[in-house]
Structure 1
């Protein structure tokens, strides 16, 4: 069996229990070396074959998985965060489908969740927003026109923006053009959950300059939205006058 496992955002303790157990018994591990914390590999057996996919192309990766499966070996394909987000696993799964090799996906903690914990702040607040948009700026990977940053900004929801900190000047301009005010709060979290995690706060008017001064230009999550500073209505979930199936009202 092939297991696509989310390694989590960086802290080796943030891999799921299921993911850790799979790593511990895997015969072959292919990990995303540019981002996955190598401490996770300490969970592997001494005899486990370990491959760093950073310098490999798709056919090499899938062939290792196919060959290992055909030899009766268990494989873990270890991706950073949660593999369903910017993980490029679909093409790997499609290649396995074409050869009838069985696989399963084990979810992980995404970097946007680790960034929210680092601030720390809730991303959805009553009366402010109940929507979180996960997206990225267009770079070498194109983005559909209808999903441009300025188009998404029109919703004024909380936005968690991946893979874009090196384009922060342009990103801020696009967000303002789309409808956020220039004083909208922004938080940049570099290497969320790693020992050298850093948090930079600002507004759309000054966040690019602040990130430059801090020397942050890669491996960072950008969180934007009024949810980071606005007054909000407390949740009705714990309001004593609000009844639901598990709690009656005040007597």
Structure 2
């Protein structure tokens, strides 16, 4: 039998993939992080043993998977968002490999993508930002690698998608203000797509006040960058352009 690592998306039960829904319906055991995943997602399960992992350590979680495999049971390990980002996939699959347990991965809608969808913004606006940096802040967590400071990423002026940092939002803004400026747009989305969803719009200068007033402490994504500005092409002061790919003046005799 196989352990399926499945991205549960940002939380809404209808924002998981068809494959994810099928795997949940077929699973005998489902492990999920209760802090982040809405209970409605678990409604796709059909009689599975459901285990909340928020109070389990890594070894305990892997032990459940190994024992289920030995009993010929299919396992789904749900992760919030997409397994490619902040899911502890590497640690878990390394241990499963050592135990001889097969596994695969099903992607999901990433939290930063869901947050951008909620506010209706493209994160890569021509002539403004063509890169998105997905990163986090360090508090009670694993040390960040050398060179991966928020200030270093901010120097690129790419759009920042900062995870696991809502309790340090003031520190985050202090680190990026030199490069983005105090008037740069910031959007914070708490529990994107879920019933409790909260959207806060502000700037580098004032978003920390807004977050603290709202009392947000977890499950929020911070987006920073000029691509978030709620202007449009033709609006005075807007510095963005339009995609060359779809331009009527592009030479279509050549490949992209």
Please give the TM-score of this superposition, normalised by the length of structure 1: 0.93
Q: Distance in 2 between matches of 1:243 and 1:195?
A: 47
Q: Aligned residue for 2:113? A: 113
Q: Distance in 2 between matches of 1:146 and 1:223?
A: 21
Where in structure 2 are the equivalents of 1:48-67 lying within 5 Å? 48-67=48-67
**Structure 1, unpaired ranges of 5+:** none
Q: Distance in 2 between matches of 1:63 and 1:92?
A: 10
Equivalent of 2:240 in 212, 232, 239:
232
Q: Distance in 1 between matches of 2:29 and 2:131?
A: 39
Q: Aligned residue for 1:15? A: 16
Where in structure 2 are the equivalents of 1:23-102 lying within 5 Å? 23-46=24-47, 48-102=48-102
Query: How far apart are residue 245 of structure 1 and its match?
Result: 6.5
| Number of corresponding residues | 245
Query: How far apart are residue 241 of structure 1 and its match?
Result: 2.0
2:162 is the alignment partner of 1:161: yes
**Structure 2, unpaired ranges of 5+:** 230-237
SS in 2 for 1:105: strand
Q: Distance in 2 between matches of 1:69 and 1:105?
A: 16
Q: Distance in 2 between matches of 1:96 and 1:226?
A: 43
Q: Distance in 2 between matches of 1:45 and 1:202?
A: 43
Q: Distance in 2 between matches of 1:203 and 1:75?
A: 43
**RMSD, aligned α-carbons:** 1.5
Query: How far apart are residue 215 of structure 1 and its match?
Result: 2.2
Q: Distance in 1 between matches of 2:190 and 2:254?
A: 40
Q: Aligned residue for 1:183? A: 183
Are 2:11 and 2:41, in contact at CA under 8 Å, matched by a contact in 1?
no
2:202 is the alignment partner of 1:202: yes
SS in 2 for 1:12: coil
Please give the TM-score of this superposition, normalised by the length of structure 2: 0.92
2:249 is the alignment partner of 1:241: yes
Flag as ranges the 4+ runs of structure 1 deviating above 6 A. none
Are 2:159 and 2:224, in contact at CA under 8 Å, matched by a contact in 1?
yes
Q: How big is each residue's C-alpha offset from its partner over 1:19-45, in whole Å with a ceiling of 9 and x where there is no partner? A: 110000001111111111111211111
